[in-house]
Chain A
Amino acid sequence: MFAFFSRRLVQAVLVMLVISVIAFSIQDNLGDPLRELVGQSVSEAERQSLRNQMGLNDPFFVQYWRFFKKALLGDLGTSYFFKRPALDVILDKLPATLELVFGTTLIVILFSVPIGVFAAIYPKQWFLRLVMGMSIIGISIPVFLTAIMSIYIFSVELGWLPSFGRGETVELYGWTVGFLTRDGLMHLILPCTALSSIMLPLFIRLIRAEMMEVLESEYIRFAWAKGLTRRRIWFLHALKNTLLPVITVGGLQIGTLIAFTILTETVFQWPGMGFLFLEAVNRVDTPLIVAYLIVVGLIFVIANTIVDLIYGLVNPTVRLARSHPEGE
């Protein structure tokens, strides 16, 4: 367990290093920070001296090393627009985005597991076949379309659900959370549903396919031959094996999920990191962009490490990878 964990930790650090290099080199390619700072009216000579002063003419690695040392201390520069530390600006918006991601994850898990499992057990049942058919359509409709359509139907036409912002939030251990108030919850429904519309069909289909394969396996046949109850065979013997590959895919999809928060937050005017990021891109607020990439990278690495740990707990062959089968 310890070996597994430390190996994962080394990997995580390496991934973060790569992300930081990428994030940093993006800085150079995103317009001229001076123009943002001083405007058009400054003479070329003045610009050059300012560049030298800011170290913008130093070699790449010198600049990166400077950036890296500061980043380790949590200093990712100052946002040109907000005139505040970029990391602080980002972290202010973190709870909103995490709430969106968790809500979506919850929806995906709560729906995909039972639907996928039952669709595998009863492949001929009409309702489940309908759901499977709809999931194909679901996969092919872009998120922004789902989002706009759901806003049109549930906010504009029916007036049931709010379509923008977080609604009423409360303070909880320094975090602003929305899911504790009724209004906050109502505001979560549409964005979370829209965001889960890409993941849900994917996971339903994945779980169904895996479960069907597992149900055909010899060990499931043996479980039937032992006279176990259907419940035990389906929900213990088969489900546990089905979830192994699903957990792995789940880890990989976290990246996609975070990427799609940018879009979802924009459509729903959700005051999260993704929305902020898009604004930062428009304003060429480079420190903010870099800070966003680093924070998102960190979330991704942490989430994947957790997923790997869960996988290790479910799959005995990972946990005990170092012990070998013993002879007769």
Chain B
Amino acid sequence: MALLEVRNLDVTFASWGGNLVALRDVSFSLEPGERLGIVGESGAGKSVAAFAILNLISRPGYISGGEILFEGQDLTQLSPQEMRSIRGNRISMIFQDPMMTLNPVLTVGVQMTEVLHAHREISAEEARSRALQTLTRVHISSPEKRFDQYPHELSGGMRQRVVIATALLTESSLIIADEPTTALDVTIQAEIMDLLLELCELNNVGLILITHDLSVISQVSQHAIVMYAGRVVEAGPIWEIVNNAQHPYTQGLIGALPQQTTPGKRLNQIRGVMPSLSNIPEGCAFNPRCQLVMEVCRTSVPTYTNIGSTRVACHAAGSAQTGNPLSLEHNKT
């Protein structure tokens, strides 16, 4: 049985001027202990997808369709009480900015042990020793001292280690990490990422890693989904996606990677920007930015085509026209 299976998930933000669709028909799945990457530019809907799993979408957003099967149980059908017993206990989250994630007025120790107290009968001493143990596992020196400190007394990297330790306290079988290193100093990003991967692997914990950086995912995950304007535009094994991208958007992301750029040249950014929810273009949402745009792209939403082991939503998918048009175009300049 899959650890997590998201089926045709729709998320809507209710607003005065009508409902805004933030996620449409999003599907993906994850086996126990597997690592899945979610990639896409800022605003693609990655965070909304992550929070939807724990039913924590910020107001006025709500799940308007689909299923989220976690170990066979549909999370969208749970009562608030049942959902609470999943959060932080069976599924843990790591947020983007550790400066904002930890409560400034509570000590590290309080913020760690409260997770244990929330989910099991455990004495204060036992909770404390569990927390200290876990702090050691994330390589925090002098955990006894850190335990009594407040977040502002720790560096950004150390704070994110505390957050990771918190996620590992309970026996979660899934960790959702939403850009866990983006807000950190570049010098420690790799270190924190390695730590996260190592601990997930060691404990056979499934990991959903969200990032806007395809190169990170290519190194750490087994499968990836590429999101654009609230939809999954390409999904498949990471090796396929990186080496044989089918969707023009994925190709654009790969072309924009620094290692794809000749030194001294400008980065090959995809021209244009991600549309806001209130004006998502008709047809294929990517069409104003796409080099391969055809008449049909402006009117009809592309359905999924299976190419090898990847799934692509593009009218041009599978035809001879695909290649790496964006990087070719830009390399001429």
Chain A interface residues toward B at CB < 8 A: 216-219, 221-229, 232, 236-237, 240-241, 244, 314-317, 320, 323, 325-328
Contact = CB atoms under 8 A, between A and B. Distances in A.
A241 B104 CA distance: 8
B117 to A, nearest CB: 9
Given A216-B58, A218-B95, A225-B54, A326 B153 contact: yes
A328 B188 contact: yes
Given A232-B118, A326-B153, A225 B56 contact: yes
Contact of A219 (B51, B93, B100, B119): B100
Interface of B: 51, 54, 56, 58, 84-89, 92-93, 95, 97, 100-107, 114-115, 118-119, 150, 152-155, 157-158, 163, 166, 188
Nearest to B169: A226
Contact of B152 (A224, A244, A317): A317
Contacts of A327: 155
A227 B54 CA distance: 10
Contacts of B154: 325-326
A231 to B, nearest CB: 11
A325 to B, nearest CB: 5
Nearest to A236: B106
Contact of A325 (B54, B107, B115, B152): B152
A227 B100 contact: no
Contacts of A224: 54, 56, 87
A228 B92 CA distance: 12
Given A241-B104, A316-B107, 20 more contacts: A217-B100, A219-B101, A221-B58, A223-B103, A225-B54, A225-B56, A225-B87, A225-B88, A225-B92, A226-B88, A226-B114, A226-B118, A226-B166, A227-B89, A227-B118, A228-B84, A228-B114, A232-B118, A240-B103, A325-B155
Nearest to B191: A328
B155 A328 contact: yes
12 contacts: A217-B100, A218-B100, A219-B101, A226-B87, A226-B166, A228-B88, A241-B103, A315-B105, A316-B107, A320-B152, A325-B153, A326-B154
B212 to A, nearest CB: 18
